[in-house]
Structure 1
Amino acid sequence: MNILLIGEYSRLHNSLKEGLQKLGHHVVIFGFKDGFKDFPVDFPIEKKWDSGFLKKIKVGIFKLTGFNISSYLTYLQFKKNKNQFVNFDVVQLINENSFYCGYHFEKKILEFLFKNNKKVYLLSCGTDYLTVKYSFENPEIKSLIQPYLEGKINNKNFQNVLKFRKKSSRKLHEFIYKNISGIIASDMDYHIPLRNNPKYLGLIPNPINVENIEVQPFSPLEKIIIFHGINTENYFKKGNDYFEKALAIIQNKYNDRVEIITTRNIPYQQYIQLYNKAHILLDQVYCYDQGYNALEAMAKGKVVFTGAEKEFEAFYNLKESVNVNAKPDVNYLVESLSYLIENPEEISIISKRARMFVEKEHDYIQISKRYLSIWNQ
């Protein structure tokens, strides 16, 4: 099979590519490298006029004319290589706005892809029109909408979410849905809003290449190391404010028994090296299920504070915890961390379950086979 994967989030498409290649398929990734994470991409797109003085000029021109220079420059990069993106058996979009363009140029790129390839599928693994709509209609559920509604994030810093409430995003969503063969969710947070959608093909868990991930053995006699990696752009969306407040209490309470590592906006490889020695990793609080970062840490045997709501446990038929269900509640987080620090044998137990869970449910070869099964329907 000849497969084109558009875009990258948290290494999802790279892991899927590795699995598909092992099964004998030809795979190409085209798109952005997921910001500072800088993941490998066969045909990379660079964000232009997106910082400093040029960004100020871009914003000024957009306010005066409505013309988005960054979108236009992205389109030119696509146009230059467009003959590389034809005659694929399957094209998969990472998002409804994979190219981060405004409606006009995003649609032009997608029209070409729809016209010149056999089948196109859409992944729901981040914010898009339907998930944002569902979150605003159901504000009581765990989602990144909650810190916005609490006033922690202003409109300007929430534009990458609020843009999906605009008329142009609805139009783009409708255009994509008319042309795709179906939509696939990567976890429960995207599965729930898509239930009963006629284009929905089901949940396929994130692929994890467990062959390249080693488990670091844990001794209960060691000082317990807690890792908290922060992407400042998503600070409140991930609930990092709750984690930081909880960690300040933990540091004061267990100063001689814990080591706390906090990072901000560091490259992926450096991030991995620092968190490798940790026993506990703090991921995010506003989710039902685990994203890629949490799963990769679980594969390494870390005890991860992330989404593990009853919907997640029911879906995988879990009887014992494979991580810690994080909540936007400082006292709850302190209590949960304290229990692990005072009962280090529990860290070892959850560590083993976490690895076994990822091996069973997220193995990249088995997940690749599930994608192939859906694409071949």
Structure 2
Amino acid sequence: MKILLVGEYSRLHNSLKEALITLGHDVFIIGTGDNFKKYDVDYSLYPSFCCNYWFIKKIKNLVYLITKTDLENLEKGIRFYFFLSKLKDYDVVQLINSNAIETYPVFSRFLLKKLFLQNKKIFLLVCGEETPIVEYLLKNKMRYSILSPLFESKKLKKKYRYTLKYIKKNYRKTFNFVKTKASGIITSDLDYKIPMQEMGFKTTFIPNPINTDRIALQPLNISHKIIIFLGINESSSIKKGIVFFEKALEIIQEKYPEKVEVIITKNIPYNKYIKLYDRSHILLDQIYGYDQGYNALEAMSKGKVVFTGAEREFIEHYNLNERVCINALPDVNSIVKELSFLIENPNEIIAIGKRARLFIEKEHDYIAIAKNYLNYWESFSYS
């Protein structure tokens, strides 16, 4: 098959592409590369004109100040438009999000309409923020969620503007347009499966694909200090509960000055990020999750002990009897307690790391996951 994957925010589409190519398919990705993360894409929508020249940046900022028009968003849409002639006759087109082009909603619908007309089957992947996800989380029915900080302080509303945009009329209209055109909707983990079901959507759950051939197990060797890694994306740090990790690390460094080394990074490209966390034994990922996101899964594949979402819903879904990662709660004392146990029992770090890798191989192997995608796509007839 000839397959087009639109958007890339985590390496999910890249891993899926790698598996599909191994299985003999032609696969292309179009997207921005997610700004500073610089993920690989075949057709780049990165707004280099607006971002790479200081004088254009000044003009862009002035235009936004006067008109509230973001020239970066316009450039992404214009770039997509000029790629349209190459984006035709695909058997499958999958959007990573209804806002996968990352331009203005009206422009996005115009472009998507053209894209859909010149291709066959359309699918929507829900693996992050999306209109029904945000609508459900705003009901505040879950034990906690990425919106928990907002419920505690309305002053944070400005920090959530990229999340809350999905419930605006124009973005909701775009989601509804994609929903009506899509043959099916896929969810990638329980953090999206549960809200979509609660909102009445029929979805198919296919776990994140992890390239276990590319990501080798790194047997943990604890000869001296235990290395703890925290990689911060400042644009999403509040939603991920990073402040709990930061406070816990202050306590841990004071408590175990001779036993731990802490590495903290901010807003660095994916390739540099990986090289830094490769040294670590423990990775602090996120707080407000019930299941693991892509970053956590890649680290688990390397045999790291990851503090992330691992709630009872996750344990029950995969029928686990032993911990493959640490359930990170929005509680500093809980995080300190878990870290202290691992620091004082380094053999447990090694044991959890081994189980983490085995879990990834069993539940997230990229070839097996790609076959699930293929079976799902092929279950729909051409329109």
TM-score interval (norm. to shorter): over 0.9
Q: Matched residues in 2 for 1:12 and 1:139: separation? A: 28
Q: Matched residues in 2 for 1:222 and 1:93: separation? A: 46
**3-state DSSP of counterpart to 1:232:** coil
Q: Contact 2:231–2:273 at 8 Å: present in 1 too? A: yes
Pair 1:16 & 2:9 matched: no
Question: 2:111 aligned to 96, 109, 112, which one?
Answer: 109
Q: Which amino acid in structure 1 is aligned with residue 60 of structure 2?
A: K
Deviation at 1:117, TM superposition (A): 0.7
Identity of aligned residues (%): 50
Deviations 1:177-229 (A, max 9, x none): 11111110010000001226676331111111111112222234431111111
Q: Matched residues in 1 for 2:88 and 2:66: separation? A: 34
**3-state DSSP of counterpart to 1:154:** helix
Structure 2 unmatched runs, 5+ = none
2:263 corresponds in structure 1 to 261
Question: 1:321 aligned to 307, 320, 323, which one?
Answer: 323
Moved more, 195-204 or 124-133: 195-204
Question: 1:124 aligned to 123, 126, 146, which one?
Answer: 126
Q: TM-score, normalised by structure 1?
A: 0.95
Pair 1:33 & 2:33 matched: yes
Question: 1:58 aligned to 53, 59, 63, which one?
Answer: 63
Please provide the CA RMSD for this pair: 1.7
Would the alpha carbon gap of residues 60 and 299 (structure 1) be closer, same or farther in structure 2, given more than 3 Å must change?
Answer: same
Q: Contact 2:309–2:326 at 8 Å: present in 1 too? A: yes
Q: Which amino acid in structure 1 is aligned with residue 357 of structure 2?
A: R
Q: Which amino acid in structure 1 is aligned with residue 136 of structure 2?
A: Y
1:99 corresponds in structure 2 to 101
Deviations 1:114-137 (A, max 9, x none): 111111100101101000001001
Q: Contact 1:49–1:58 at 8 Å: present in 2 too? A: no
Would the alpha carbon gap of residues 273 and 70 (structure 1) be closer, same or farther in structure 2, given more than 3 Å must change?
Answer: closer
Q: Matched residues in 2 for 1:104 and 1:322: separation? A: 44
Structure 1 unmatched runs, 5+ = none
Deviation at 1:90, TM superposition (A): 0.3
Q: Contact 1:3–1:28 at 8 Å: present in 2 too? A: yes
Deviations 1:56-84 (A, max 9, x none): 22323534xxx654443222212212111
Q: Contact 2:197–2:203 at 8 Å: present in 1 too? A: no
Report the count of equivalent residues: 374
Q: Matched residues in 1 for 2:83 and 2:330: separation? A: 45
Q: Contact 2:286–2:328 at 8 Å: present in 1 too? A: yes
Pair 1:332 & 2:334 matched: yes
Q: Matched residues in 2 for 1:313 and 1:126: separation? A: 21
Deviations 1:89-133 (A, max 9, x none): 000001011112222101011101111111110010110100000
2:237 corresponds in structure 1 to 235
2:77 corresponds in structure 1 to 75
Q: Contact 2:124–2:186 at 8 Å: present in 1 too? A: yes
Deviation at 1:52, TM superposition (A): 4.0
**3-state DSSP of counterpart to 1:288:** coil
Q: Which amino acid in structure 1 is aligned with residue 237 of structure 2?
A: Y
Would the alpha carbon gap of residues 152 and 229 (structure 1) be closer, same or farther in structure 2, given more than 3 Å must change?
Answer: farther
Deviation at 1:46, TM superposition (A): 1.8
Q: Matched residues in 2 for 1:281 and 1:298: separation? A: 9
Q: Which amino acid in structure 2 is aligned with residue 255 of structure 1?
A: P
1:173 corresponds in structure 2 to 175
Q: TM-score, normalised by structure 2?
A: 0.94
Q: Contact 2:77–2:102 at 8 Å: present in 1 too? A: no
2:202 corresponds in structure 1 to 200
Q: Matched residues in 1 for 2:59 and 2:157: separation? A: 22
Q: Contact 2:209–2:370 at 8 Å: present in 1 too? A: yes
1:4 corresponds in structure 2 to 4
Would the alpha carbon gap of residues 376 and 330 (structure 1) be closer, same or farther in structure 2, given more than 3 Å must change?
Answer: same
Moved more, 50-59 or 7-16: 50-59
Q: Matched residues in 2 for 1:247 and 1:201: separation? A: 39
Pair 1:368 & 2:370 matched: yes
Q: Matched residues in 1 for 2:121 and 2:174: separation? A: 18
Q: Contact 2:282–2:306 at 8 Å: present in 1 too? A: yes
